[in-house]
Amino acid sequence: MTGSLAKSRTSTPLTRLQDGRVLVAGGSEPSDIFIPQGQPFLSSCELYDPATGTWSYTGSLQVMREGASAQLLDDGRVLVAGGYYNTNVANYHVTAELYDPAAGSWSYTGSMSQPRNRAATVKLLDGRVLLAGGTTPQSTNPLSAEFYDATTGTWTATGPMLARIEKSELLPDGRVLGLASGQIVQIYTPATNAWTSLGALPTGLLPEIVVSLADGRVLVAGGGNATVRYASLFHPTTNTWAATGGLLAQIISTNAVRMPDGTVLAFGGRDPNNFIPLTTVQRYTPSTGLWTAEPSLVGGRIGPRAVLLASGDILVAGGSNGQTLGNLKTCERYVSATCVPLSCTSQGAACGTLPDGCGGTVSCGTCGSGLTCSAANACVSDATPPTATLTAPTAGTPVSGTVTLQATASDDVGVTHVEFLDGTKLLGTSSTAPYSLDWNTVGAGDGNHFLVVRAHDATGNAGRSTPVTVQVLNTPNANVAAYDATFKTPRCATAGASCDTGSVVDGRGSVGPELNAPNTLNGACQDGNNGTYHSDESIDRLRIATLDGSPLAPGKVVNIQVTAYVTMPASNRIELYSATNLANPVWQLINTIMPPTNFSQTFTLRYSLPAAPIQAIRARISYNGPLTSCGSGSFDDHDDLIFATQ
């Protein structure tokens, strides 16, 4: 065994960074009893350090993502794209983010052409990242693919796929092999940007194992059938298949990794006839074409994730124990070479139990009478952490420019210093009470920020405050839209750094009343007229602005801000859509927002503008209605904003 995850994460891959650490991002944790009901989705991320065998939190994703695609880029950053989260309605992501290992933080990059969840992902030889298929709100099997160029931060579509794809693998000549159950085998050729057919899979079943061998062949093995132990090899030079030795036992929900010696190890899984987790490990040797049994996992795991470490070891993480809500936080390490364990002395520890760096632990003893083992593994008389509270600004406060952060902290012995953090990013420290720090919000970016205070005492104890959410609003409120009688909606005719409806859409239909209601493109979507102004739902303001103060332009990442009055948040949903053809608009879902509380509030999300000289965004608030760009509910409110781009 090695260090355990803080969260039992499903549907998220492991990514080995260039410095050897391993990143896991987002996912979901339905087994966490502390997460509100129906909200098991995660934005938090963790890093595994092979040197210590421990996991630690790093910066969180901008949004919760399960089933997102992850890929290490040539420059060392990690691209995470798509995925979804579910809050009564499945919210599929079109956005993508980049992780900077040096800063430990995430930032938005260009958005895909459509949302994708569980897309097949592979990095091309030229460094671009190809995403194919996946699931979307409209289709479970979109016949489309697109690739990401890290040098420009943009996505480009490939030629149309011939059938759906569930798994993909890079070939030595730069082509991509695409596979799916019951579908033809497809090849993507980057030089022609086209997909071609190679006929049917050997068994017709999606293989559980798809791994490239050192000689360029691709091993595929298993399938979703209890009788199938079949394995075969794809030869990219001839585009043909050849049978090879079959698995020792058929398994599904397994994971496989190619070892440094060229063999392939398959870990865990389950029998297709039951949900009993397996400890089985099988090794495929290309030179003999045979599978052999390996030492078993410490514990059974259905659907574990596995990644090759720089040392040649394998990290096997998570999976399920087959029980209801039985996702695992525990991890194991397959040690392929001799490892020298770390001692307590080398780690500066006087007490407690620490990882030994070889997948095990080392006991450093206990403390004497009256002493306690601290978080730093030192024997101390003070084991009580300080308490801390952020007193200013208060929750929900809009801030701009330089703002003074203020905090109180106390400890039974004494506070040495207080740290102010924006999420996981350290803003600065204060060593004397009253604790304060001047924060320049200009570089923080518009939108919601989560401020935390962390107090420290002399013995290494630390106590954190409850996070306080504030809204950074620095982009000038210039370029207020005027009502356009032709389009019948507010419009900014020239491209500026922002476009704002101001108070034009305040209210809903005749409730308010809303000036020029319904303020939807060509007046095509009417508002519900039931209820009372600001006792019932309404969209009151829409604003879009670039992050850097430059004019709105295709490809620019922008903040979209929606101000809405909310009643009964559990029953309300705010939806955001975009359209680029105003003569015949096709509204594309950007995202949905589940309000956390009642009354008037402003929500902010980031979005990459598509290519079009004039565009529109629509905000809709729905009371228990279906997901649609134009609803008919008596409390529905729809408001559009048209803006020009440069």
What is the set of domains in the chain, with CATH numbers?
Answer: 343-380 (no CATH), 387-472 (2.60.40.10), 482-644 (2.60.40.150)
Residue 252 CB neighbours (<10 A) = 21
Radius of gyration of the chain measured on its C-alpha atoms: 27
pLDDT tens digit sequence for 162-207: 999 999 999 999 999 999 988 999 999 999 999 999 999 888 888 8
Q: Which of 270, 276, 280, 272 is nearest to 322 (CA)?
A: 276
Q: What is the residue whose two structure tokens read 């992780």? A: 99
β-strands 489-492, 637-644: how paired? parallel
Give pLDDT, residue 206: 85
CA 315 to each of CA 10, 155, 268, 595: distance values in angstroms, whole numbers, following the listed order? 16, 32, 13, 39
pLDDT value at 36 more than 50: no
Q: Is the pLDDT of residue 463 over 60?
A: yes
Strand extents, DSSP E, 78-224: 78-81, 84-87, 89-92, 96-100, 105-109, 120-123, 129-132, 145-149, 154-157, 167-170, 176-179, 184-189, 194-200, 209-212, 218-221
Structure tokens of 390? 């952020």
pLDDT at 395: 78
Q: Could you give the 3-state DSSP secondary structure of residue 200?
A: strand
Whole-angstrom Cα distance, residue 413 to residue 396? 33
H or E stretch at 262: none
Q: What are phi and psi of 423, to 5 degrees?
A: 70, -115
282: enclosing H helix or E strand: strand 281-285
User: In whole angstroms, what is the distance from residue 130 CA to residue 551 CA?
Assistant: 30
DSSP letter, residue 459: T
What DSSP letter does each residue of 408-420 carry, written as one string? Answer: EEE-SS-EEEEEE
Q: Which residues is 421 bridged to in the sheet?
A: 426, 452
Cα(529)–Cα(509) distance, rounded to whole angstroms?
6
- pLDDT 10s digits, 295-348: 999 999 999 999 999 888 999 999 888 875 558 899 999 987 656 677 888 788
Q: pLDDT by residue (tens digit) across 378-422? A: 887 777 889 999 999 987 677 778 899 999 999 877 788 999 999
Task: Let me know: does 161 contact 141? Beta carbons within 8 Å.
Answer: no
Would the pLDDT of 93 be above 50? yes
DSSP 8-state code for residue 444 = G
Query: What's the pLDDT tens digit per position in 258-302?
Result: 998 899 999 998 887 788 899 999 999 999 999 999 999 999 999
Strand order in the sheet with 557-566: 498-500, 538-546, 557-566, 599-608
Contact in structure between 183 and 198 (CB atoms under 8 Å)? no
Cβ–Cβ < 8 Å for 525, 637: no
